[in-house]
Amino acid sequence: MIVEERPTRRWLDACIALDGHDNSHEAAERILSRIPGPAAHLSVERDDQVVGMGLIVAAPGCGGVFCMATHPDHRQQGIATAVLHAGARWAAAHGAEELYLQVMDDNQAACRLYDRVGFRLSHTYHYRTKP
């Protein structure tokens, strides 16, 4: 497990590649690099390739879980669970007593993982688009 306080080029490249949205590059460059911290940019590498990642941002009393992703060829191997547990330990060491995250309802694999490790539904949300 690699844990960096700032996003490295390798971590940002993996974020862009694993995110898969049209604006992944813009989000990684403009938004993620501006997080003041403390933050942990976590990654798991196999054969010199980032195959799993996450971002934990600590704030007084709580920590946010963001950018969780696993390469499709490496899913169901415990990588996301390892990233989440390492991030939780890091957050606890930085004063976070609780963790929060957002996940899409239709991401069943992620929902199962988060349920298995103890996350519970607090709120729902939706996006509005202009007609």
Q: Do residues 113 and 80 make contact, with C-beta atoms less than 8 angstroms apart?
A: yes
Q: Where are any strands of DSSP class E within 1-131?
A: 2-4, 39-46, 49-59, 61-70, 96-101
Residue 31 has pLDDT above 90, yes or no: no
**pLDDT higher than 80, residue 124:** yes
Q: pLDDT-based confidence at 104, cuts 50/70/90?
A: confident
Residue 88 has pLDDT above 70, yes or no: yes
* Residues making up the chain, counted from first to last: 131
Residue 107 pLDDT > 80, yes or no? Answer: yes
CA 29 to chain centre: 16
| 8-27 pLDDT tens trace | 888 888 988 887 667 767 77
Class of domain 2-102: alpha beta
Q: Would you kindly state where each structural domain of the chain is located, as residue ranges? A: 2-102
The residue with tokens 């990684």 is 28
For the ranges 11-15, 44-48, 65-69, 99-103, the lowest mean pLDDT is seen at 11-15
CA atoms lying within 13 Å on the CB side of residue 97 = 2
Compute the distance between CA of residue 108 and CA of residue 103 in angstroms, rounded to an integer: 9
The pair of three-digit structure tokens given for residue 22, joined into one six-digit string: 């049209």
Question: pTM of the full predicted structure?
Answer: 0.87
The C-alpha angle with vertex 99 and arms to 98 and 103, in degrees rounded to 5, equals 150
Least confident range of 82-86, 92-96, 104-108: 104-108
Tell me the pLDDT tens digit for each residue of 64-79: 999 999 999 999 999 9
Tell me what pLDDT residue 21 has: 67
CB 69 within 8 A of CB 52: yes
